[in-house]
Structure formats: structure tokens, C-alpha cells
């Protein structure tokens, strides 16, 4: 599923965090990332996946992930949500790597 391109403001932030230019990249979620998230984080529901566009657009914090090609979007709602995205530079994609939620402060 293609979610569209990051906004110009997001591109500026991502360029700094990732150390590469993501202008023209498409944001995507593929089935393998969904399966991974559901397997590793069974508390994630279908309704949670519907929150992803809002989590990205209104993140409380965007930080570099554990590897230099990933970023983490954190959003606090009734839980703390973490959406992890990685670059696929050859395909000009920002792809979901994993998605999980925790109790607030935990």
C-alpha cells in the first residue's frame, strides 16, 4: 500500500536524520511488515494500523532508529505508538519496518 510522498517539511527532517535526500520517495507499507508487526507485537490491532498516517503526520517526536537507514515516529494517544520506517533508496521508498505500541511511560 502506497501512502504517498512525505511533505516538504518531513523531507527536510528526514534528510538530516537519514543522511540522504528522500525528495520524491513514496511512503509504503507491505504485507511482510504488517505480518512482522502482528507476529512480534500481538497487541497491535487493525484499528491501530489505521492510525499510521496520523502518527506520521502528527508525531510527537521523530528520531533516528537503531540503524542509520531508519527513523522512528512516536505519538502518544491512549498508548505510545512507534512507527519505524526504513529507506529503500534503489526504489525511492520509505517503507514500514515495524509498528508497535506500549503503555504510556513504559
- Mean pLDDT over 12-36 rounds to 94
Averaged pLDDT, 38-46:
93
Return d(Cα 64, Cα 70) in angstroms, integer: 6
Query: How confident is the model at residue 104, as a pLDDT?
Result: 85
pLDDT score, position 106: 62
Residues paired with 84 in a beta bridge: 72, 98
Length of the chain: 106
Over range 33-50, report the average pLDDT.
94
Q: Which residue has the cell 491501530?
A: 48
Question: Domain map of the chain by residue range?
Answer: 2-102
CATH match of 2-102 with 3.30.2310: yes
Average pLDDT of the segment spanning 30-54? 94
Q: How far is CA 86 from CA 70, 79, 105, in A?
A: 4, 23, 25
pTM of this prediction exceeds 0.95: no
Amino acid at each position: 500500500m502506497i501512502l504517498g510522498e512525505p511533505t516538504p517539511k518531513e523531507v527536510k527532517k528526514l534528510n538530516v536524520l537519514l543522511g540522504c535526500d528522500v525528495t520524491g520517495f513514496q511512503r509504503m507499507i507491505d504485507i511482510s511488515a504488517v505480518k512482522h508487526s502482528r507476529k512480534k507485537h500481538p497487541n497491535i490491532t487493525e484499528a491501530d494500523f489505521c492510525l499510521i498516517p496520523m502518527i506520521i503526520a502528527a508525531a510527537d517526536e521523530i528520531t533516528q532508529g537503531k540503524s542509520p537507514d531508519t527513523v522512528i515516529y512516536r505519538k502518544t494517544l491512549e498508548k505510545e505508538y512507534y512507527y519505524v520506517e526504513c529507506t529503500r533508496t534503489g526504489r525511492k521508498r520509505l517503507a514500514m519496518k515495524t509498528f508497535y505500541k506500549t503503555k504510556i511511560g513504559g
